[in-house]
Each structure stands twice: as C-alpha cells, then as structure tokens.
Amino acid sequence: MNLTSPSQVKAWCIANDFHPNKVLGQNFLIDRNALEAIVDAAELPHGARVLEIGPGLGVLTEELLGRGHTVTAIEKDTALAARLAGALGNPQTLEVYAGDALDFIKDGRCDGFPALVSNLPYQAGTRILLELTQRVAGAPEKAVVLVQTEVAERLAAGPGSKTRGLAGVLVQLDYDVQIVRKVSANCFWPRPEIGSAVVRLARHHRNDSLSEEKRDLFRRIAKQAFEHRRKQLGTVFKGIVQSTARAEDLANSDWLALADGMAKISEDSAIS
C-alpha cells in the first residue's frame, strides 16, 4: 500500500473496518513532500537509532527504514501496533511496542535515543514532547516532530512574542527550536481543522551544568508567572521581584537569573 496515497489509505481503512480515532489524534500524513521534509530535517547519519511515537499506519516509519535507520515505534492503538511490523515486511531494524508513550517515558524506556522523529498525536503531542525533553540525561539530542501550527509557534516563540508560553520556555532551556516548514491540513487524512508545522529541536548543552534543584525552581517560577501572564512580575512575585515586565517578555537567561535571585533570598532567610 502506498501510504501517501489518500485513496489507498482510505480503501485500507474501509476494507479493515478501521475508523481513525479523534481522541487519539489519528490524522495520517498523506503528503510525500511533507514526509520527506520531516526526515530531511532530522539530518540523521546512516543507521541512526530513532524513536518514533505514534507511527499510525507507518508512513514515517517506512521512510525512516528505507533510509537505513533503526526504528523503535510506540503506538497507543493496539490494532495499529499489531499490524505495523507485518505491513512493512517485518524488518529486523524495527521494534514496535503497544502502549501509551507517556508511560514509556515515565519508566525510562524512551531514554537514550539520539533522535525522536514523529508525527505526534494532536491531543497529547505537547505533553509527550515536554515529558521527553525534560528528562535531561535520557533526552534525545535532536527531535523533529510534526505538531499543530499553534503548538509549533509556542515552542519556537522568543521573548516579547505574544505566542511565548510555558512550553516554549521549558523546551528552550535545553533546545534550540526552529520551525522548518508549515504543512497544510490537506496533507492529512482525515483532514484536521487546522494546519501543522514541522519543528526541529536541537540540544544546545548550554545548561547541562544546572542542578535538578535549579531546574525545578526554574520550572516552578515560570509556571507561576505564566499562570498570571497578564500581571507584571512585580505583582506575581510581590516582595521578591521589582519588575514591570510580564512573563512573555523574559528570555530564558532572565528566568535563570530570577531563579538564582530567589534561591539566594531563600538561603539568606534560612541563615537569618
């Protein structure tokens, strides 16, 4: 079956009484140009070990295997997980696991992969990406993912942008984020209501020396500020910070400096 052919994909679904599940975010990519753009953006060396979350019918899996890579795929839909390897000829370079990727990440079974390349499920895509990239020691060196356009813009947004939010701040602590290209809703079946974008995350290692305590404080203060994003930071952290800036105005270096300041205040309070 040609997995980039809308008619063949639809015919397979009809013949197998398979109905794409909106709850699982099942919108299958059926555009070859977009498919090639995802794998090209990953810039993987031949034989790379790749983690794929939400392979669906296997269009991206097939492309990765065809380029000589080894793929570990995690699929929540048990029916799709059961068919994937056989549909692709049972290659030795493919491992398929059925289950919730969030459980696999929590258990450390997604640690140690050099690259994540995925068309992430619409509903859980942001959470999956955040959970995986914040594992630090086990996180991939690079990730190329297809997500909703608004998610991509939030992940890539810099300080001062109205689309800047907590997800972008957290991911950018360890990754440089770039939107590679936009992908029309017409490139999927079933057609989603909104478009998508290919996003590339490259680990920058600038903050590898941060302790887990510092990272935890960074996350907590950023979360608190974005929960009150319309308020000035001087109001959110009254008595601690004097600033008229709002959460979206700060660069990650500012958040780290703020965390340092709060940690110092806490130490001084403990001493006194």
Looking at residue 271, its pLDDT comes to 38
Write down the residue that tokens 């140690």 correspond to: 112
Residue 132 has pLDDT above 90, yes or no: yes
pLDDT digits over 146-157, tens only? 999 999 999 999
Task: Please tell me the distance from the alpha carbon of residue 127 to that of residue 139, in angstroms, as a whole number.
Answer: 14
This prediction's pTM: 0.93
Rounded to an integer, the average pLDDT of 37-41 is 97
Residue 21, Cα to own-chain centre: how many angstroms?
A: 20
Rounded to an integer, the average pLDDT of 19-42 is 91
User: What are the DSSP calls for 31-65, one per residue?
Assistant: -HHHHHHHHHHH-PPTT-EEEEE--TTSHHHHHHH
**Hey, which residues does 235 pair with through a beta bridge?**
none
Please, which pLDDT band fits residue 268 given cuts at 50, 70 and 90? low
Looking at residue 63, its pLDDT comes to 98
Cβ atoms of 101 and 72 within 8 Å: the answer is no
In the chain, what are the domains? 6-203 (3.40.50.150), 212-271 (1.10.8)
- Identify which has the larger pLDDT, 268 or 126: 126
Sheet holding 70-75, edge to edge: 94-98, 70-75, 49-53, 115-119, 142-148, 196-203, 175-183
